[in-house]
């Protein structure tokens, strides 16, 4: 059974795992540039997680099921119109202007830290730059409403309202999730919805907020590899993700990185 309310020991374990996940993104950003392959980024992250952090890359071999192999790499690399779960490859070479979401989940002492960030190889287009910025703002707006007594629908509504006000669309096929000793658990955290609906939040809950925002239609399709999800119209997509804890008075971002301006969380 899913343990929605974490113990203090669980929370401390999640803080450690979250901090490590954020550090992986701090590390890998220096290597994102035109000419690098997504497989090279995967190798660098894998070695950092295993050899420096003494942790485990959660995506590697995750999710094997009848008719679908487990995820074959240690991170997800979703380039341009790839919405999520892009598989690193030697043949996928980043070009100038490519946008890429790097999604990292580490396991440390049995606890999962899950986070992702957008990067650009070289110089971004005006559209890509705006989509990336608005998507991060969507995530932050969703995080800002988290507190005891708020509802899951409040999170989705804040994200959807900001995305659509900027003429972008919110992916419906994938969502945030509870997380702890299990990678994906309840609750499901939709990135669209109506305020005042859904589960009421309680102190001690831990889950991800990870909006996927598209420049065109929100419709997606999964490629024959069983993992890679792309926009149906092949227009750009962006995603940002944090793992958050509902505290007694508000929210704590467990995967926060050093360069982030989190002043929006100040009382």
pLDDT at 202: 97
The Cα-based distances of 49 to 43, 53, 189 in angstroms read: 10, 5, 27
Q: Does residue 1 sit within a domain?
A: no
**pTM of the complete model:** 0.96
Quick: pLDDT tens for 176-215.
999 999 999 999 999 999 999 999 999 999 999 999 999 9
Q: Evaluate if residue 2 carries a pLDDT over 70.
A: no
Range of the domain at 122: 8-256
pLDDT, average across residues 223-236: 96
Has residue 156 been placed in a domain? yes
Digit-coded pLDDT (tens) for 96-117: 999 999 999 999 999 999 999 9
171 with 213: CB under 8 angstroms? yes
| 266 pLDDT higher than 90 | no
| β-pairing verdict for 251-253 and 242-246 | antiparallel
Q: What is the pLDDT of residue 67?
A: 79
**pLDDT above 90 (res 26):** yes
Query: Residue 263's pLDDT band (boundaries 50, 70, 90)?
Result: confident
What would the two tokens of residue 174 be? 């994938």
In a domain, 218, yes or no: yes
Query: Domain for residue 145, yes or no?
Result: yes
Q: How far is CA 230 from CA 101, 125, 217, 220, 241, in A?
A: 13, 19, 11, 5, 18
Q: Report yes or no on 143 lying in a domain.
A: yes
- With bands split at pLDDT 50, 70 and 90, how would you rate the model's confidence at 264? confident
Q: Which phi and psi angles does 163 have, rounded to 5°?
A: -60, -50
Q: What is the mean pLDDT of the chain?
A: 96
Average pLDDT over residues 239-252: 97
Strand partners, 229: 84, 222
Residue 3: predicted pLDDT: 72
Confidence band for 1, pLDDT divided at 50, 70 and 90: very low
Q: Is the pLDDT at 131 greater than 50, yes or no? A: yes
- Percent share of the chain, pLDDT over 90: 93
CA 40 to chain centre: 20
CATH number at 105 reads 3.90.230.10
Tokens linked to 49: 């997680």
- 3 belongs to a structural domain: no
Q: Examine the pLDDT at 163 and tell me if it is beyond 80.
A: yes
Is residue 162 domain-resident?
Answer: yes
Tell me, yes or no, whether 262 lies in a domain: no
Tokens of 127: 């559209």
Q: How many domains does the chain have?
A: 1
The phi and psi torsions of 72 (rounded to 5 degrees) equal: -85, -5
């Amino acid at each position: 059974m899913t343990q929605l309310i974490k113990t203090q020991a669980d929370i401390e374990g999640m803080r450690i795992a979250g901090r490590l996940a954020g550090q992986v993104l701090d590390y890998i950003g220096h290597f994102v540039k035109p000419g690098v392959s997504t497989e090279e980024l995967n190798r660098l992250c894998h070695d950092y997680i295993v050899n420096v952090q003494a942790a485990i890359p959660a995506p590697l071999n995750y999710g094997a099921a009848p008719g679908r192999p487990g995820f074959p790499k240690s991170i997800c690399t979703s380039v341009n119109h790839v919405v999520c779960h892009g598989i690193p490859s030697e043949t996928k070479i980043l070009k100038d202007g490519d946008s890429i979401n790097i999604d990292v989940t580490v396991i440390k002492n049995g606890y999962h830290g899950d986070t992702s960030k957008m990067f650009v190889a070289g110089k971004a287009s005006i559209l890509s730059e705006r989509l990336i910025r608005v998507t991060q703002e969507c995530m932050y707006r969703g995080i800002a409403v988290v507190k005891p007594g708020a509802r899951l629908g409040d999170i989705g509504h804040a994200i959807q309202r900001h995305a659509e006000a900027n003429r972008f669309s919110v992916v419906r096929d994938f969502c945030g999730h509870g997380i702890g000793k299990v990678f994906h658990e309840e609750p499901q955290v939709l990135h669209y919805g109506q305020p005042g609906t859904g589960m009421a939040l309680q102190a001690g809950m831990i889950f991800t907020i990870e909006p996927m925002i598209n420049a065109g239609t929100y419709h997606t399709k999964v490629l024959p590899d069983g993992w890679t999800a792309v926009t149906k119209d092949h227009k750009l997509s962006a995603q940002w993700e944090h793992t958050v804890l509902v505290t007694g008075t508000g929210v704590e971002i467990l995967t926060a990185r050093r360069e982030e301006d989190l002043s929006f969380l100040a009382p």
